[in-house]
Amino acid sequence: MTRPFLPLASSGGLVDQFGRVARDLRVSVTDRCNLRCTYCMPAEGLPWLPKPEMLSDDELLRLIGLFIRDGVTQARLTAGDPLLRPSIVELVAGTAVLEPRPRIAMTTNGVGLARVSQALAEAGLDRVNVSLDTIDSETFTQLTRRDRLADVEKGLAAAAEAGLTPVKVNAVAMRGVNDDSVADVLQWCLERRYELRFIEQMPLDAQHAWDRGDMVTADEIRARLSERYTLTPLPAEERGSAPAERFLVDGGPETVGIIASVTSPFCAACDRTRLTADGQVRNCLFSRTETDLRGPMRDGASDDELLDLMRGEMWRKRRGHGIGDPDFVQPDRPMSAIGG
């Protein structure tokens, strides 16, 4: 095996040249999804990863364990849609017995959540983020190309019932699609005690059709919400590495978050690292390079050799995502294959 690049930081920890330390691992457990959100995937889906290229549960757990050994404190399971991995409950259970135990979270579209919420909670899942861009059934069907809103609603209720709290809802606002109803989504979430966060649409679609000029900005979302609610910003120091700017709604205690990932990036405070379903480490959603762990692992690399590879990838993390720079190029992997 060729010797990996040894970063200055190889003595320990997932640090980069700008002093950021990775604590939050996003693990994509499959690239498949059961929705076809128009801003994410084409109607016909994508060429899925062949099974032999995907990490087995044992391989995933070995790598998650190494990330934890090197300072990661939260593992978020994502995908495509993580509930499409048949062994998702076993993966959660396997993560929950790693030492030191990380917080375990999941990002899902919620379609399959009603069926497995209880089992996931019993296996050790701590909380869940459900993606839901609209509460209008017709808009949902157009946007996701699937008539599954009722399943998502049941999934959310089941997650709350199973104690996967606070249940968070993530929404993307799109011009002419759902931007006129962001306050309706907030009202719906407030009534059910779900914590809502809007996120600006990013250039990560498989179709490469993202257009900055057409993006609904964080400021616009805030203005729309303010037509119905009084939003009071929470102090910036409470934010830490969290990407969302949070606001008390009508004096609280409920809050809403807005993530200005494009217009006001949080890269300086980013503490994330990513592992794809085929065993590549990525230091950023927008990275155009990645480091392969699967090949070396299957060739017999030791834990220390794999840690060197992870640290090297993190060391090379760029200062910022660079959207808006003249030389910005969208990554080849779409969001669904990286894991959002």
Which residues make up the interface to ligand SAM (CB under 6 A)?
A: 33, 39-40, 78-79, 81, 107-109, 131, 170, 172, 199, 201-202, 204-205, 335-336, 340
> Under 8 Å CB-to-CB from 213, ≥6 apart: which residues?
none
* Cα–Cα distance, 273 to 287 (Å, whole number): 11
Residues 6+ apart with CB under 8 A from 311: 7, 9, 10, 13, 14, 15, 70
Contact 87, 62 (CB under 8 A): no
Least distance to ligand SAM, CB of residue 11, Å: 34
> Smallest distance from the beta carbon of 218 to ligand SAM, in angstroms?
12
Residue nearer to ligand SAM on the CB measure, 126 or 205: 205
Shortest Cβ 244–ligand SAM spacing (Å)? 13
If the CB atoms of residues 279 and 340 are measured against ligand SAM, the closer one turns out to be: 340
Closest to 112 (Cα-Cα) out of 76, 64, 146, 143: 146
| Residue (131 or 287) nearer to ligand SAM, CB | 131
Which one, 33 or 167, has the nearer CB to ligand SAM? 33
**Smallest separation, CB 296 to ligand SAM (Å):** 27
Give 171's strand partners: 198
Residue nearest to ligand SAM (CB): 340
For residue 33, what are the CA distances in angstroms to 26, 113, 177, 335?
17, 14, 21, 11
DSSP tally for the chain: helices H, then strands E: 10, 12
CB of 173 to ligand SAM, least distance (A): 10
| Distance (Å, whole) CA 186 – CA 207 | 29
Question: Which phi and psi angles does 129 have, rounded to 5°?
Answer: -110, 125
Q: Which is nearer to ligand SAM, 22 or 260 (CB)?
A: 260
* Rounded Cα gap, residues 331 and 326, in angstroms: 15
Question: Measured from the CB of residue 101, what is the shortest distance to ligand SAM in angstroms?
Answer: 23
Closer by beta carbon to ligand SAM, 66 or else 125: 125
